[in-house]
Structure 1
Amino acid sequence: MRFSLVLATKHRVKELQCFLESLAAQTCTDFELILVDQNADDRLAELIKFYSQKFPILHIKQPEPGLSRARNQGLKHVKGELFGFPDDDCIYPADFLAKVSEFFHSDSAWGGLVINVLDLDSDKEAMLYLPESPGVVDYDKGWIVGMTAALFYRGDFALSVQFDENMGPGTPWGGAEDVDYLYSCLDAGAKTYYDPQIIIRHPTPSKFYSIPQSIQREYNHARGAGFLMRKCKLPLSKVFWRITSPLIYTIQFIFQGRSREAACFPGVSLGRLLGYLGSWKISEQ
């Protein structure tokens, strides 16, 4: 089954080269890369020239800010039976696309697949939260496992579902555009499954950012999550739980000796609260 991989990138060169090298090593070679380049300069020219000899690359210049806007531009060019959204700093194991293809080939009832994201150098979850069990993805499970680089869908949904360009990096609501996109696919009829045994590799943010940078990053993402809670009109009981639950992780991670990660969770709660209240004010205007 042919893949269209929509990758939006800005600033990164070395990390992108590592990802492109992992693509060149795939056992499944039936794919194209739709590379949406948000750099104002031509820093990627040599990389694109080199790897275009190994697999098809459609290079789209999109200097305007906004990750969701860039991905929507890429979606317009999807031609494959399956599509996904790799990050420019992730790595695909050599058999990754083959496993995703086999999943969709084995049962035509599934419209979407969410895979697992592990650290580059260990078999630990790359993001802050704990592992989830496999199973059908509903709105509650999607809240936890929804990460753009982990999402794969059948090609038909590229025409019917877009990212909310008011959300994500480059906007005041700096995250949760991935969960919002997953929700939109569920709304469009994409029966979706989460398989934690199919993995990609991704840098664990807390390893590469300082503590203040990590706190700011998680706070920005959480503002988007607060915006999404308001957008989805969640009942107040769920809003309260999703705002306060990160504080439980703070205590849990402290007892596990993971104080660096624990420092991020109060900012997550604050970001969700302010994102929810801020989006509420906007909706009332």
Structure 2
Amino acid sequence: MRFSLVIPTLDRPGDVRAFLDALTRQTFHDLEVILVDQSGGDIYDSVVADFSKVLPVRHIRIDVRKCRYACIVGASHATGDIIAFPDDDCLYLPDTLEQVDASFRKNPSLGLLTGVVLNQHGRPSQMGRWLTTSARLNENNIWTGLVEFNMFIRRAAYEAVGGFDANMGPGCRFVAAEGQDLGLRLLAHGVGGYFDTRLQVVHPDKPTGVNLMRARSYARGMGYALRKNAAPWSVLLKFVVRPVGGIFFNILKGDRNAMLYHAYVLLGRIEGYYSSAARLAAKMLGKRA
């Protein structure tokens, strides 16, 4: 088996159906789908029944509603050489897996491959800041060069570093940056990582309205990952200067909502960085505590 696609999902059978439908149009077919269902009901049964006729789909049910915990469970059942964790609401382009397979075959030292995000209209996503050119991943650029649902990893490397941190991701206090955390641990293990602008996955943009609590929770995950992985001071300063600059710039503009957004981002990053959980995680990795 070449690819194991682990899909953590909660109450989105329509989106999963759309992803699997797009998967049937892949030009590369050596794959398995591991659907990790956190819904606690039977809403995915018809989807699994329909697509099991054309795809090898394994349906796993769990009671814990934590996205990366679901990924960990799904990964324990994977048999493919390369493992990926597509969001239940993303879409692969028809040649995605063929392109990834070719990249791994061409470069045996490559262990982690990621790429860009297109929104539902086929335009560059507004989901944060991203690298604009292809590059080898390192501890500085990985923060803007990796997204979880467009991330392909040699399964042996994924298992060697222990997979995702179950305390991170949707459903946890530290909602975001679990991909960067995993990627940094892979790089520290000697795994080669690459960001390829040609590797494109479709994902709908988040709502554009200001959601202060969401901003704070996502930023808290970033702060946790920064502390856990002993991010260099150059990176830390960048993630402090940007929201501080945003606060003062929007005070001058008189834009209260934007000012509050940047303030909540700064607060969340500080909360995550100085949390006891981040300090303990850093100590367990032998990093700066």
TM-score range, shorter chain: 0.7 to 0.9
Does the 8 Å contact 1:78/1:158 carry over to 2? no
Cα 1:248–1:129 shift into 2, 3 Å: farther
Q: C-alpha root-mean-square deviation of aligned residues, in Å?
A: 2.6
Query: Can you list the C-alpha shifts for 1:56-93, whole angstroms capped at 9, x where unaligned?
Result: 01111112122121111111112111111100000111
Query: Can you list the C-alpha shifts for 1:195-248, whole angstroms capped at 9, x where unaligned?
Result: 0111010011035xx433xx3323211101111122123355542331222455
Structure-2 residue corresponding to 1:275: 272
Q: Distance in 1 between matches of 2:120 and 2:130?
A: 17
Structure-2 residue corresponding to 1:7: 7
Structure-2 residue corresponding to 1:31: 31
Offset at residue 54 of structure 1 (A)? 1.1
Structure 1 segment 131-210 matched on structure 2, within 5 A: 131-161=131-161, 162-207=163-208, 210=209
Q: Distance in 2 between matches of 1:143 and 1:130?
A: 8
Structure-1 residue corresponding to 2:69: 69
Amino acid at match of 2:165: D
- Alignment partner of 2:118: what SS? strand
Amino acid at match of 1:211: V
- Alignment partner of 1:205: what SS? coil
Q: Does 1:222 align with 2:219?
A: yes
- Structure 2: runs of 5 or more not aligned: 251-255, 284-289
Does the 8 Å contact 1:126/1:203 carry over to 2? no
Amino acid at match of 1:193: Y
Structure-2 residue corresponding to 1:21: 21
Structure-2 residue corresponding to 1:256: none
Amino acid at match of 1:166: N
Structure-2 residue corresponding to 1:50: 50
Does the 8 Å contact 1:125/1:131 carry over to 2? no
Amino acid at match of 2:199: I
How many residues end up aligned between the 2 structures?
276
Structure-1 residue corresponding to 2:101: 101
> TM-score with structure 2 length normalisation?
0.86
Structure-1 residue corresponding to 2:210: 211
272-281 vs 91-100, greater mean Cα deviation: 272-281
Amino acid at match of 1:278: S
Structure-1 residue corresponding to 2:286: none
- Alignment partner of 2:4: what SS? strand
> TM-score with structure 1 length normalisation?
0.87
- Alignment partner of 1:140: what SS? coil
Q: Distance in 2 between matches of 1:29 and 1:269?
A: 44
